[in-house]
Amino acid sequence: MDRNSCKTRTERAGELRELIRTDPEKFIERFLDLEDMVRVLAGEVKELREQLKKNSGNSSKPPSSDGYEKPAPKSMRERSGKKSGGQAGHDGKTLQQVEHPDHVIEYKLERCPVSGRTLCDENIIGTIKRQVFELPEPRLEVTEHCVYLYRINGEVFHAEFPNEVTAPAQYGRRFKSLLVYLHEYQLVPHERLSQFCEDLYGYRVSEGTLANARQECFGQLENFENILKERLQKSPVLHGDESGLRVEGKLHWVHSSSTDLDTHYHIDPKRGLLGMQAAGILEFFRGTLVHDCWSAYFSWEECLHALCNAHLLRELRFFEESGQSWAPQMANLLKAAHRDPDSRAIEGWFRQYQQILRNGYAENPFDPTIRSRKRRGRVAKPKVINLLDRFKLHRKSVLRFLIDPSVPFTNNQAEQDIRMVKVKQKISGTFRSIQGARMFCRIRSYISCARKRQRSVFQSLQNAFFQNPDFCSNNT
């Protein structure tokens, strides 16, 4: 225990007076040391308090980190003035009767319920039809392939089996398509998938059967993935994002590159430049890359960059809640520019943008040359200065949606595409092999492309198993 902590305030005051009288320089040194310590501790307390105030609504923290005391929802969407629900002209999805039903059950009266008179077909004047859509009794159809043996001059000959028929008993391609559909698209774990097949069809699918089906689908989609990369490389606007995924108990990263029609996933141990290079897309891309300002993306200098303003608006909300007056000004500018970009010239937007930054710097004076005594290294910048510097350095990337109307305001496309990776991890926890993770990424890329084109995912998977995968043309 510090001996000074045992002394009374009067005793310590007496010692300081004696020190001022006998050695004023030493007193000054002690005073400055204490002043430096107070400044450092005050900064740490402020930073810790700011961390406690951060949540999924005012920062990039995920909603799962909010705990039980979730913040009141504050949507950044502005009111459209429309009523909730389906809008006029919206295509409904009501179940409609079909012209040719599979089965027809007729209900006729033999006698009049009032008079008791006998009725016949001549008395019929019309019909009222109601249709019930029902599942057929689930069962697997077994097709036997039988080749005949012939003996000619002592030698035995027989016809060839089809290429896909390789075992005495095996599952067909449509059934394997269903296994992949449920496992990769609906994210049903193997145990539940096996139970599903046993309950419906009476066959319990082994883990090896599922693995073989996934491997076969993965192999059939190799050409699809190569053509997909070419399409993404040539797209005018590309969305990029990355998310953690555990493989063999270690953290890996899924890199996504996507447009409104295509999605590519790549798994890699590295999050930064090396992982992006291994994906084989960004190094050949020359359009506009939309991302969340992860520094590795700026390594690609051959393309233009656009930042996700949804991320920036969340960060601005935090500093607005902290009392920064420039933050709501910048947020309002971004929203106004997005809502009505033609209300002023681009130069006018940039001038107002620069003025708000000047206000922000004036509100937060920071001198990097002032440091605490006896402290080495670069002086850490406050969080607000880091955000101001980001707005200043990347102003064209922030306002890219004004310069090029084809560039979106946010990176929501990538956020939506990468979201299912987190869902997959919540279900499975980890992949047991890197090959399994690669199969998941390629097959899921194919599924996402089908979804974006409003194609039947199950039918597209069947096409892949029948060696005719979809989306293998640059004009698709």
As a whole number of Å, the CA-based R_g of the chain is: 34
Are 55 and 61 in contact, with CB atoms under 8 Å apart? yes
Are 305 and 298 in contact, with CB atoms under 8 Å apart? yes
Are 239 and 257 in contact, with CB atoms under 8 Å apart? yes
- Tens place of pLDDT per residue across the chain (476 aa): 455 667 788 888 888 888 888 888 888 888 888 887 887 787 778 777 777 767 666 666 666 666 666 666 666 666 667 777 677 777 777 899 999 999 999 999 999 999 989 999 989 999 999 999 998 899 999 999 999 999 999 899 999 999 889 999 999 999 999 999 999 999 999 999 999 999 999 999 999 999 999 999 999 999 999 999 999 999 999 999 999 999 999 999 999 999 999 999 999 999 999 999 999 999 999 999 999 999 999 999 999 999 999 999 999 999 998 899 999 999 999 999 999 999 999 999 999 999 999 999 999 998 776 655 555 667 778 889 999 999 999 999 999 999 999 999 999 999 999 999 989 988 888 899 999 999 999 999 999 999 999 999 999 999 999 999 999 987 66
User: Domains of the chain: which residue ranges?
Assistant: 167-308+414-476, 311-365+384-403
CB atoms within 10 A of CB 429: 11
Q: At what angle do helices 190-201 and 207-220 cross, to 10 degrees?
A: 100
Strands 288-291 and 304-307: parallel
How does DSSP assign 161-225, residue by residue?
A: PPTT--SSS---HHHHHHHHIIIIIS---HHHHHHHHHHHHS----HHHHHHHHHHHHHHTHHHH
What Cα–Cα distance (Å) separates residue 253 from each residue in 164, 205, 225, 247, 446?
A: 36, 31, 19, 9, 19
| pTM for the predicted model, two decimal places | 0.81
First to last CA, the chain: 75
What Cα–Cα distance (Å) separates residue 386 from each residue in 39, 123, 409, 454?
A: 20, 86, 22, 42
Q: At what angle do helices 346-363 and 383-393 cross, to 10 degrees?
A: 160
